[in-house]
Amino acid sequence: MSTLAPPDFDYIVQLVHRRSAIVLEPGKEYLAESRLESVAREHGLASVTELVQRMRSGSLDAGDAVVDAMTTNETSFFRDAHPFNALRDTVLPELIEARRVARSITIWCGATSSGQEPYSVAMLIREHFPELRDWQVRIIATDISPSMLDRTRQGRYSQLEVNRGLPAPMLVKYFTRDGMHWVVAEDLRRMVSAQYMNLNERWPVMPPFDLVLLRNVLIYFDVPTKQAILGKVRQQLRRDGLLLLGGAETTMNLDANFERVPHGRSTWYRPTGA
């Protein structure tokens, strides 16, 4: 049972929404309390109630830590499989053909969490497209959570994490063991750069992207926020670029200026007029 009083929970709901656009539904008091316990402890406080009351009175600014703790960071290597099969079989081969002259590919993993997604893309590229070794291939991984960005930079995963989705031959080939953990090869870490970015605030200057993976994050936002983000993604995509969303997400009824582009058993989206 949560002991978080309604006004304290409401304060957290408003703060998290204002800063990250994440919508915390009523009834998530228990979730808030369990996730904020570590923040209270870090500030030497006995309870989440004390944490919230200090914040409400203005005697403590722990907003960033609260937002970080309230993000859901569920992810895994090669999550959902089909989009990665499509990348291997058609999306990347077609893109490589289109970029033969420029010899440069830029991919954005927005809301990257702990980095399994960008490293899955990097591994897939190394594994199946050796010709890209002397191209400029950049994977920009962004997230609102500083702790997740640190994890992405470290590229260090537990046995449990590598057991989720990573084929054993790839583990052996692209990771080295460090005690109880596995560390991503330096070559792959160089392909991935991790940067802070709040999708709900002014976006930093970024290069035009050939591929955008924005998976399993729009689900946390309300409709106007989803629409605003999709509109900005369109501006960031090259005219023949492609957007991939999570399995439960779509541009339909949100942004009419994307067209669906099926690739194998996954759906990608391209700005219309391309």
Ligand X SMILES: C[S@@+](CC[C@H](N)C(=O)[O-])C[C@H]1O[C@@H](n2cnc3c(N)ncnc32)[C@H](O)[C@@H]1O
Q: Which is nearer to ligand X, 85 or 198 (CB)?
A: 198
Using CB under 6 A as the binding rule, whether residue 249 contacts ligand X is answered as no
Gap between the Cα atoms of 11 and 18, Å rounded: 11
Distances (CA, A) of 167 to 71, 80, 123, 162, 173: 28, 14, 11, 9, 10
In whole angstroms, how close is the CB of 71 to ligand X at the nearest point? 3
Residue whose C-alpha is closest to residue 137's, from 193, 184, 205: 193
How many degrees, rounded to 5, is the angle at CA 163 between CA 71 and CA 109?
A: 45
- What is the footprint of ligand X within residues 30-69 (CB under 6 A)? none
Residue whose C-alpha is closest to residue 32's, from 74, 69, 73: 69
Binding to ligand X by CB under 6 A, coded x per residue (else -) over 145-174, reads x--x--------------------------
236 φ, ψ (degrees, to nearest 5): -85, -20
Q: Which is nearer to ligand X, 19 or 54 (CB)?
A: 19
Binding to ligand X by CB under 6 A, coded x per residue (else -) over 181-200, reads ----------------xxxx
Encoding tokens for residue 30?
Answer: 């228990």
- What is the footprint of ligand X within residues 95-154 (CB under 6 A)? 111-113, 117, 143-145, 148
Q: Which is nearer to ligand X, 131 or 201 (CB)?
A: 201
| Site of interaction with ligand X (CB under 6 A) | 20-22, 71-75, 79, 111-113, 117, 143-145, 148, 197-200, 215-217, 220, 246
